[in-house]
């Protein structure tokens, strides 16, 4: 039987007798999903929606919410808004829409500026990235200074920024025309076009918003438009787990929501997941998190890396701030006949893209792959160093290069195709016997036993690190410390 905590009682009292909007500052493992489900049972309206961060959360909650509340992703709210705009002629979702537009733009630009010998892949990738972030952040596409600020804030890796930044407006114009005439949209359009076309989604008396710390400007605006006149909203999130800034989220999303809605703030501080010893570690970063009254003591131990394979058990979760150490360990576990995979198939695709670029270097021979990989790294790092605020991109690039080098050294691939296949096979979103994951990928996960590789990288630091990047690194450390339900192991070399 559900027995609410003092924090949950205060939230439920506000739902029934309060006014206005609220933000619930939910600590890791504090039962925010349970809190939202129980709160939804108190609503006296059938015009209520739950906004989930992804499809998985929405599917999980759909069967647990009362009949008077429906669950949607924010993207699906945007898509529904566009469908009403288009009427009978429904939109066609084309995830490669802007890729093709950017390819065409880069072809024209290259001819006009004599850039035929420049890496066109990197150019159109840069333009596509600029267009995606411009839409997510609702940056004025015609404001060159605002676009420069956006690039600097997110440390975007953009080739020839002086040239491409002036192509953003024209590229988005073409994207809009394609949406109006051919009804072609991509996933970011679902968030951006309702803003651009001043469209209104269905209105609701109540809006529940999960993971509000990771909302982009486009997502937040769309959610707020769902609120009817006199309607109310409750935003649940944890500013201490705001780790999606690299993907276009507002780094201070919770503070912005509180300011823009004059929200009442409620704590939800009791962690029902972690043992007391783990909470003590987490409190060094987030003092307000509390252990549950019946929390077990738990285990916190150091493990030597050379003993790690013997220590790992079926069902374990292994975390690291960077990717390369996970790849190295995954290969080692597989060699010992322990089924293991690295979480995130798209990471594997990012690595194979680099392999393909290395293979295009003039004079390439697979037998000298390591040498050409280092040439690629040197060239990319040199280009990045010529621009300001690129230290985080260099850090990420070197991590990926190191991961590829480990695979090349350990595998018996004879061609780039074989190497790419072996790389992709290392990564999976399905649960194997042992799951390895970057901390970013582990957000929302919990496990009986958790290992943290290279704990000295928490928090990760680099030169010219921005204040918000420093804060997000501390958030990543906090996320890592709050995944285990019983045992937490720090792996030391």
SS3 sequence of 34-59: HHHHHHHCCCCCCCEEEEECCHHHHH
Counting the structural domains of the chain, the total is 3
At which of 160, 182, 204 does a domain end? 182
Say if residues 404 and 423 touch (Cβ distance below 8 Å): yes
Shared domain check, 214 and 159: no
SS3 440: helix
Averaged pLDDT in 10-residue chunks for the chain of 493 residues: 91 96 96 92 91 86 88 96 92 94 87 71 89 97 95 86 93 96 96 98 96 94 95 94 81 91 96 98 97 96 93 94 93 87 86 91 93 93 81 88 91 91 84 88 92 96 88 95 98 90
Shared domain check, 108 and 78: no
Asked, for residue 31, whether it belongs to a domain, the answer is yes
Shared domain check, 20 and 155: no
Shared domain check, 252 and 296: no
Shared domain check, 437 and 317: yes
Asked, for residue 1, whether it belongs to a domain, the answer is no
Shared domain check, 391 and 247: no
Shared domain check, 362 and 474: yes
pLDDT on residue 53: 80
Shared domain check, 353 and 462: yes
Asked, for residue 412, whether it belongs to a domain, the answer is yes
Q: Which helix (H) or strand (E) holds 472?
A: helix 467-481
CA dihedral 95, 98, 100, 104 (to 10 degrees): 180
pLDDT on residue 116: 64
Asked, for residue 188, whether it belongs to a domain, the answer is no
Asked, for residue 167, whether it belongs to a domain, the answer is yes
Asked, for residue 471, whether it belongs to a domain, the answer is yes
Q: Which residues contact 243 (CB under 8 A, 6 or more apart)?
A: 214, 439, 440, 443, 472, 475, 476, 479
pTM for this one? 0.85
At which of 216, 233, 268 does a domain end? 268
Q: Which residues contact 113 (CB under 8 A, 6 or more apart)?
A: 163
Q: Residue 210 is part of a domain; what is its CATH number?
A: 3.40.50.300
Phi, psi values for residue 230, rounded to 5° = 80, 0
Phi, psi values for residue 53, rounded to 5° = -75, -30
Q: Before 459, cis peptide (omega within 30)?
A: yes
Shared domain check, 112 and 77: no
Q: Which helix (H) or strand (E) holds 73?
A: strand 69-73
Q: Give the structural domain span for 420.
A: 276-491
Shared domain check, 59 and 114: no
Say if residues 401 and 377 touch (Cβ distance below 8 Å): yes
Shared domain check, 23 and 127: no
Shared domain check, 221 and 313: no
Distance CA 340, CA 1 (A): 38
pLDDT on residue 117: 65
Asked, for residue 391, whether it belongs to a domain, the answer is yes
Q: Residue 444 is part of a domain; what is its CATH number?
A: 3.40.50
Asked, for residue 452, whether it belongs to a domain, the answer is yes
At which of 217, 252, 268 does a domain end? 268
Six-digit token pair at 133? Answer: 């972030």
């Amino acid at each position: 039987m559900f027995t609410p905590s003092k924090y949950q009682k205060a939230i439920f009292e506000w739902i029934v007798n309060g006014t206005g909007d609220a933000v619930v500052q939910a600590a890791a493992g504090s039962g925010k999903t349970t809190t939202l489900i129980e709160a939804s049972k108190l609503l006296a309206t059938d015009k209520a929606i739950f906004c989930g961060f992804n499809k998985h959360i929405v599917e999980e909650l759909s069967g647990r919410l009362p009949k008077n509340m429906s669950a949607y992703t924010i993207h699906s709210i945007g898509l529904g808004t566009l469908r009403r705009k288009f009427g009978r002629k429904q939109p066609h979702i084309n995830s490669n829409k802007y890729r093709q537009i950017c390819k065409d733009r880069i072809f024209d630009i290259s001819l006009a500026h004599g850039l035929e010998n420049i890496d066109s892949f990197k150019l159109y990738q840069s333009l596509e990235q600029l267009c995606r972030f411009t839409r997510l952040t609702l940056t004025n596409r015609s404001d060159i200074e605002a676009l420069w600020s956006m690039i600097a804030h997110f440390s975007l890796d953009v080739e020839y920024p002086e040239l491409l930044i002036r192509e953003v407006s024209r590229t988005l114009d073409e994207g809009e025309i394609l949406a109006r005439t051919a009804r072609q949209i991509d996933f970011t359009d679902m968030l951006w076009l309702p803003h651009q076309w001043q469209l209104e989604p269905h209105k609701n008396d109540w809006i529940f918003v999960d993971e509000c710390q990771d909302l982009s400007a486009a997502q937040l605006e769309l959610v707020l438009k769902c609120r009817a006149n006199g309607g109310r909203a409750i935003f649940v999130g944890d500013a201490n787990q705001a780790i999606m800034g690299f993907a276009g989220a507002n780094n201070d999303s919770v503070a912005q929501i509180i300011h823009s809605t004059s929200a009442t703030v409620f704590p939800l501080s009791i962690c029902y997941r972690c043992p007391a010893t783990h909470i003590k570690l987490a409190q060094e970063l987030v003092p307000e998190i509390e252990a549950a009254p019946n929390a077990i003591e738990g285990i916190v131990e150091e493990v030597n890396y050379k003993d790690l394979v013997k220590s790992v058990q079926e069902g374990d979760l292994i975390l690291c701030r960077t990717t390369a150490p996970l790849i190295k360990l995954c290969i080692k576990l597989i060699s010992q006949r322990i089924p293991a995979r690295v979480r995130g198939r798209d990471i594997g695709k990012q690595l194979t893209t680099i392999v393909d670029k290395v293979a295009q270097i003039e004079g390439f021979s697979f037998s000298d792959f390591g040498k050409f990989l280092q040439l690629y790294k040197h060239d990319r790092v040199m280009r990045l160093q010529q621009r300001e605020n690129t230290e985080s991109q260099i850090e990420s690039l070197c991590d990926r290069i190191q991961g590829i080098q480990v695979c090349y050294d350990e595998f018996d691939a004879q061609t780039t195709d074989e190497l790419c296949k072996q790389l992709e096979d290392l990564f999976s979103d399905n649960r194997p016997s042992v799951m390895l994951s970057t901390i970013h990928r582990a957000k929302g996960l919990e496990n009986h036993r958790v290992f943290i590789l290279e704990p000295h990288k928490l928090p990760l630091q680099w030169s010219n690190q921005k204040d918000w990047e420093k804060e997000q690194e501390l958030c990543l450390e906090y996320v890592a410390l709050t995944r285990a339900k019983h045992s937490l192991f720090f792996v030391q070399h």
